């Protein structure tokens, strides 16, 4: 394995690790927002509910972007093998 191939493998591994950390952070944020949503529902706080929906929407967009990135990397790896 040449140094260039090794560096490319390290780069791919780092991207995967970063995506995994982002997934974990999003899961944690969903848990926090879920607790806040329950509190906002009990209190009838409409502004809080709106902010929670906006936060969940941002998490959704983040997950979509991560999925697109993963699909793109898989496609690149598959075309490189062929």
Backbone angles phi, psi at 54, to 5 degrees: -65, -40
In-domain check, residue 26: yes
Are residues 59 and 25 in contact, defined by beta-carbon separation less than 8 angstroms?
A: no
**Total domains in the fold of the chain:** 1
pTM for the complete prediction? 0.81
Q: How far is Cα 45 from Cα 23, in angstroms, rounded to an integer? A: 29
**Tens digits of per-residue pLDDT, 12-69?**
899 999 999 999 999 999 999 999 999 999 999 999 999 999 999 999 999 999 999 9
Domain that holds residue 60: 15-81
In-domain check, residue 9: no
In-domain check, residue 7: no
Q: 7 falls in which pLDDT band (50, 70, 90)?
A: very high
């Amino acid at each position: 394995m040449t140094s260039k191939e090794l560096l490319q493998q390290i780069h791919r591994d780092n991207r995967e690790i970063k995506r995994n950390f982002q997934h974990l952070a999003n899961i944690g944020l969903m848990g926090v927002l879920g607790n806040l949503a329950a509190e906002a529902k009990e209190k009838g706080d409409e502004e809080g509910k709106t902010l929670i929906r906006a936060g969940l929407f941002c998490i959704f967009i983040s997950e979509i972007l991560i999925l697109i990135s993963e699909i793109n990397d898989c496609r690149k790896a598959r075309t490189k093998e062929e």
